[in-house]
Amino acid sequence: MKQRIITGVIGGAIFAGFVYIGSIPYELLLIALALIGYFEFARMHHEKAFDLASIVGYALVLILAVPWAKWGVSFQWSMESTMWLVMFAFLCVTVVTKNRVPIQTASQLWLGAFYIGIGFKYMILTRTMLDEGLFWTILMFAAIWASDIGAYFTGRAIGRHKLWPAISPNKTIEGAIGGIISAMVVCVLALFVRPDVLGVPQALGIGIAASIVGQMGDLIQSAYKRIRGVKDSGTLLPGHGGVLDRCDSWLIVFPFIHLIGLITL
């Protein structure tokens, strides 16, 4: 626990500094985290983190996560075209390797690259491509962390009914509800900080969505780690595991909040 707290405090302070600075330093940090996250995913599902199949996945992560338009680079093809071309590349790998990389592995790597690339893309865009990007980024992280903390302490205090024991045996329904309430409280408090930017329905919507979808993101990570028989996705963060262990909620919450229109680019 001591190591977990120390890592959390130091890592959190460094990350908060990058969030505040924004721009290129923040973008480069998140791109690096995206690539490390994909490395963890590839190693879990493929065991070869740097062969041809994995390299195609790294390319997709970069295509999705890098804010190319902000950096002055434009592509002539659509997102649909991009995803099709990468899918085709993965399928070609299955042929070139004579099925040493089977279709199941190619599909998992394609899914992982999309899941990680899109998640980090929206984290970057929220901070660097929005008016009041610092406020929105802090609000979304605050809602996610409030949900995590609220769920943990409520579950320990009054948790009696298991939420999904087959996937995450320690989570409780009471804890999940406590997480939702905590996230909503944080978002309501943000109304008093920036009433000119945030409205009541939007604040409540972000709080509810961030908590429910964030908890689902955590369960998604737990589900595929359980299938692979691993406790953590990596060892980069002592006491916390890997990048995917720390960012599991972020990867789902940031795209979801944007895609349902609670925050728009």
Residue 38 has pLDDT above 90, yes or no: yes
C-beta of residue 257 within 8 angstroms of C-beta of residue 263: yes
Write the burial class of residue 249 (CB in 10 Å: 0-12 exposed, 13-18 middle, 19+ buried): buried
How far apart, in whole angstroms, are the C-alpha atoms of residue 221 and residue 63? Answer: 23
C-beta of residue 86 within 8 angstroms of C-beta of residue 56: yes
Q: Please, what is the Cα angle at 56 between 218 and 61, to 5 degrees? A: 45
Q: What is the pLDDT of residues 163-183, one digit of tens each?
A: 888 888 889 999 999 999 999
If DSSP codes are grouped into helix, strand and coil, which group holds residue 140? helix
Q: What is the pTM of this model?
A: 0.91
Q: What is the pLDDT of residues 179-208, one digit of tens each?
A: 999 999 999 999 999 999 999 999 999 999
Confidence of residue 3 (pLDDT cuts 50, 70, 90): low
The mean per-residue pLDDT over the stretch 27-39 comes to 96
